[in-house]
Amino acid sequence: MEPIRSTLQKNLDSVHQQISAACQRSGRQAGEVQVVAVTKYAEPAWFLELAKLHPTFGENRPQQLADRQQQLPHIRWHLIGQLQRNKVNLALRHASMIHSIDSIRLLEAIRAASDAIGFKPSILLQVNLSGEATKSGFSPIELIQSWPDILRISSGLPIEGLMTMAAESDDPESARPVFRGLRELRDTLSQRPDSIESGLKLPQLSMGMSGDFLTAVEEGATLVRIGSRLFSGLETSPS
């Protein structure tokens, strides 16, 4: 078997090459897109090696993120999975960005905790554009209607953009309307006078995973969350 490191490097290189090509196709600069390496299924040996090659990791669970952040403090850790309000302090202490703010109540809890303990990670609001009941997130209508409240609650917190997940599918094209919808929603929100007055530009769009990140890049993703694709070809150690 190849060493873990060379497999990871090959996978990373190929992801970056494909992102560059997708940027070229769509008139974007490759430097506008950051890869968040999702480590939730990775064995320790894998993410420890990956940490020598790549600076930004994503985790779904706050406790696992906190444990791994302490193990690898030079990595920027992004929380991408659902956050319960009782885990907000943990998330604030260990995450540099939280992608998954899916309700006003959670935003309020983050604001309160951030005021109390002084940690201010960048935050993204999660939007459910696929309409699946199993996915969390604001509906587009809810986000637009609550926008004045969101601006008021988040004042002083860096809301940097929006995040979404497309429905699972073997066809990446099926995700395109969802990704385009997120970009259009961002444009709508960022052009509002109240957003402009608050200085909220919403530059970040977190969208696209292993199966659909190229479509997401073509539609304007600035953060792609890639897990399985980075670890393909690695063999799970026998337990």
Ligand X SMILES: *Cc1c(COP(=O)(O)O)cnc(C)c1O
Query: 200 is written with which tokens?
Result: 């909220």
209 binds ligand X (CB under 6 A): yes
Check: CB of residue 107 under 8 Å from CB of residue 158.
Answer: no
SS3 161: strand
Nearest approach, Cβ of 55 to ligand X (angstroms)? 17
- One-letter amino acid at 54 equals H
Distance (Å) of CA 199 to CA 38, 145, 151, 169: 30, 19, 10, 37
Tell me: does residue 226 bind ligand X (CB under 6 A). Answer: yes
| Binding flags for ligand X, 70-99, as an x/- string (CB under 6 A) | ----------xx------------------
Counting contacts by CB under 6 A, is residue 227 touching ligand X? yes
Report the residue closest to ligand X, judged by CB: 227
Judged by CB, which is closer to ligand X: 220, or 227? 227
Q: Which of 18, 34, 210, 222 binds ligand X (CB under 6 A)?
A: 210
Please answer whether residues 181 and 196 qualify as being in contact, where contact means their C-beta atoms are separated by less than 8 angstroms: no
Sign of torsion over alpha carbons 93, 72, 31, 20: negative
Residues 1-60 that bind ligand X (CB under 6 A): 38, 40, 60
Nearer residue to ligand X within complex by CB, 129 or 209: 209
Residues near ligand X (CB under 6 A), total: 14
**Identity of the residue, 10 or 152, whose beta carbon is nearer to ligand X in the bound complex:** 10
Which are the contacts of 137, defined by CB distance < 8 A and separation ≥ 6? 102, 125, 126, 127, 128, 129, 163, 164, 165
Residues engaged in binding ligand X (CB under 6 A)? 38, 40, 60, 80-81, 165, 209-211, 225-229
